Structure 1
Amino acid sequence: MNHSLYNPFKTFDFRNDKCFLSGSSTSPLAVRVLPDWLLNMAKLTGEEQIKFLDESIRTYKSLVVPASAEIYTETILPLEQKLETAFEQGYKGASALPEIDLFHWIGKLMYSFLYIEMQGAIRLKQLSGDGMNMSQGLMHKFSNLHLMLQGIFRAVEFEEFRPWSIVVVPLENTETAFSFRDEINTLIFSLKFKDFGIVACLQDNGTNKRYHHELLESINDKPLTDQQFEELAARFFYSAYLFNRLPEYNVIEANDVAYIDPMPLRGIQNKPLFDEWQHKTYAQVLENFWKPYGFTLFEIIKDPKAPMSFFEQPLLPDAG
């Protein structure tokens, strides 16, 4: 198997005749983004729909990416089987998963969506073949994620750090229907299913988890209501937006291993890692997450200094 690092963002090659992870052009398979085991476990038909940035609407089961048959059989399939076994056990299984497995699985899911978005943008000429219509920051962020995801099929070592913030929490409702959210620009993802919820920031070097540490410590494995989980997710989605650094990494290859070492996030900048928290903007994010429960923005921000919260101790960040 060829272990050289592959970067599709150098040539902006997102065709279906190359493996989306390795770049191998050896008869790639069309692999479903949302695996059959997940659709079956969630009792979904696959006809459920998702809307992409190019305004196209696709069914879950129609979403596929090209993957090398060898990589799929030897590495992707075992990863999927590990997640399936864990999700079958609910919170007990999901919380026991090594974070690297969750990072690989969630990252693969998000990168698959990104791959399809790239195909659509290039097809509609919204993105040139050299990626010149995309900001250099986004290109850099996506490229780093793809680099790290190559750890699914080859040796990639993180040098005494984790590039992610991942939180797995128990839910009160043990029969929560499967649903997920993602925001590609900030590379954040949330999922709830059965009796557990997951929030993951994929390119923040753990900063969002540290930012919300007081709230996370207060939760301390207490099962959350549906509203509490959505509130937790909303806080992470908003802080991921406020995170104002673009993580940089040094990559060294030796003996078929890619070693990734983070550059200091502070760099030469004196300003904090996060822009100022604004309760009004956060309330707008929260309104979207609480849409199923009918809370209006007026109700949420009735007290401008203390937005509505379902946590006994809101422990909100200080507002600017």
Structure 2
Amino acid sequence: MPAKIYSPFDASNFSNRSCFLTGETLSSEEEKIQVFPQWLMSLYNLEDQPFKLLDESMATYKDIKLPCSATVNETYLEPLEAEIGAAVNGGYNAVKALDELKLFQWAGKLLYGIIFNEVQSGIKLQRSQGEEFNISQSIIHKFSNLHLMLQSINQPILFEDFKPFSLFLFKVSNNEQEFGYRDEINTLTFSLRIKDFGLIICFQDNGANRHYHRETLAKIGEQTLHPIQFEEFSGRVFYSAYLFNRLPEYNILPVDEEVYIEAMPLRGMSSKPLFDHWQNKIYGQVLESFWKNWGFLLLEIIKNPEEPMSFLFDADGNFVSEELIALPH
């Protein structure tokens, strides 16, 4: 039977009566799954913690749900959750041993779940004001491609000689009680700092951000990071994802029961670089937000505008070992 791709953005279908992954009609609006899996919420007592949506409304972590068919959940999502949950429990080495595509699928489902809830909120808000739901075509393009690629969870979708994402995984000397989560849905960027590791994924860049930071990655190597170092690297990636100025395009080739996705060259017809010009002042503002736990202000961070403050590298550009970092609490 040929694979059937579901495209919710084509029909603006964000009803609680349709499975988010397949589009099939559900038996009731109660047929849902948690966006943040129960094993993760239980680890950090997140269930009743506040979660702020883009429209400034507040929910709790356990309120963020996705309509999902029981069959899809039992057949595909629960085994994926069990595999990721077991790896997280095993820490950095177990997570590193996972297939990167599984991490992409798991984190992508989580990020898409948040997008789905944001879109539902947006539709309600605009309808209450008598307006049609409106969202930019470039954002729809990114969200649609993410959703297409998530269907590799439940269908034989194969990526032809490319990865649609940049994934960064580091060993980090975290406080065991700390849950560090961050996302930016406009650039489809995600970071998670828990247990003894930190994970960052850019979901829709065909590996461009990983290439962009290749020299930094080479200097860090396999070293363990202090949390402030991980947040610094996260800040660099979140900022470069904002500077990334291409909308990746793909050829979708159904062959019998399989679907092949082929990436079009990112350079396309444009001669300009893939990333806009890096500005240290804006990067400093990003760092100020990522370093909020440690209280560093923008003025301190860009005291030398040519060389913003760094805990990753010393003045000569050498990696700073995490044991040498002393910080105010």
Contact between 1:145 and 1:203, CA under 8 Å: does it hold in 2?
yes
User: Does the 8 A contact of 1:47 with 1:61 survive in 2?
Assistant: yes
Please report how far the alpha carbon of residue 41 of structure 1 lies from its aligned counterpart in structure 2 after TM superposition. Answer: 2.1
RMSD of the alignment, in Å? 2.1
Equivalent residue, structure 1, for 2:194? 193
- Cα distance per residue 1:256-303 (max 9 Å; x no partner): 211100011001100000000001110010000001101011100000
Q: For residues 129 and 69 of structure 1, what CA distance do their matches in structure 2 show?
A: 35
- Residue 312 of structure 1 aligns with an amino acid whose one-letter code is F
Q: Partner of 1:5 in structure 2?
A: 5
Q: Secondary structure at the match of 1:17?
A: coil
Change (3 A) 1:190 1:266: same
Q: Distance in 2 between matches of 1:293 and 1:24?
A: 47
Task: Read off the aligned partner of 2:50 and give its amino acid letter.
Answer: Q
Please tell me whether the aligned partners of residues 192 and 198 of structure 2 are also in contact (alpha carbons under 8 angstroms). yes
Does the aligned pair in 2 maintain the 1:21–1:67 contact within 8 Å? Answer: yes
Partner of 2:32: 30
2:48 is paired with a residue of what secondary structure? coil
> 1:98 and 1:127, CA in 2 relative to 1: closer, same or farther beyond 3 A?
farther
- CA drift at 1:178: 1.6
Q: Give 1:221's aligned amino acid.
A: E
CA contact (8 A) 1:122 1:128 kept: no
Q: Deviations over 1:88-130 (max 9, x none)?
A: 0111111111110010001000000000111111111179999
1:295 aligns with 2:293: no
In structure 2, the CA distance between the partners of 1:208 and 1:177, relative to structure 1 (3 Å rule), is same
> How far is the alpha carbon of 1:136 from its aligned partner?
0.9
Equivalenced residues, count: 315
Rounded to whole Å, the distance in 1 between the matches of 2:314 and 2:100 is: 28
What is the SS of the residue equivalent to 1:97? coil
Compared CA separation, residues 26 and 53, structure 1 to 2 (3 A)? same
Q: Residue 126 of structure 2 contacts residue 132 of structure 2 at CA under 8 Å; is this kept in 1?
A: no
Q: Distance in 1 between matches of 2:129 and 2:122?
A: 8
On the 8 A contact 2:174/2:194 being kept in 1, the answer is no
The 2-side partners of 1:220 and 1:231 are apart by: 16
Q: Is the contact between residue 127 and residue 134 of structure 1 (CA under 8 Å) also seen in structure 2? A: no
Distance 1:82 1:308, change over 3 A: same
Superposition TM-score, scaled by structure 2 size = 0.92
Whether the aligned pair in 2 keeps the contact of 1:12 and 1:130 (CA below 8 Å) is: no
- Write the distance in 1 (CA, Å) between the matches of 2:132 and 2:158: 29
Question: Which stretch has the larger CA shift, 175-184 or 74-83?
Answer: 175-184
Question: Are the counterparts in 2 of residues 176 and 192 from structure 1 also a CA contact under 8 Å?
Answer: no
Matches within 5 A, 1:28-67: 29-42=31-44, 44-67=45-68
Distance change >3 Å, CA 195–CA 131, structure 1 → 2: farther
The one-letter code of the counterpart of 2:292 is K
8 Å contact 2:3–2:259 — kept in the other structure? no
Contact map agreement 2:165 2:201 (CA 8 A) in 1? yes
> Which deviates further from its counterpart, 127-136 or 257-266?
127-136
Deviations 1:144-188 (A, max 9, x none): 000000011111000000000001100123625122000000000
Q: Deviations over 1:41-91 (max 9, x none)?
A: 23x140001111122100111111110111100000000000011000111
Q: Is the Cα contact below 8 Å between 2:53 and 2:118 reproduced in 1?
A: yes
* Shift of residue 3, structure 1, vs aligned partner: 3.8
Structure 1 residues 162 and 16: alpha-carbon distance in aligned structure 2, compared to 1, 3 A threshold: same
Retained in 2: the 8 A contact 1:11–1:129?
no
Whether 1:177 aligns to 2:178 is yes
Q: Does the 8 Å CA contact 1:173/1:225 hold for their aligned counterparts? A: yes
1:10 counterpart SS class: helix
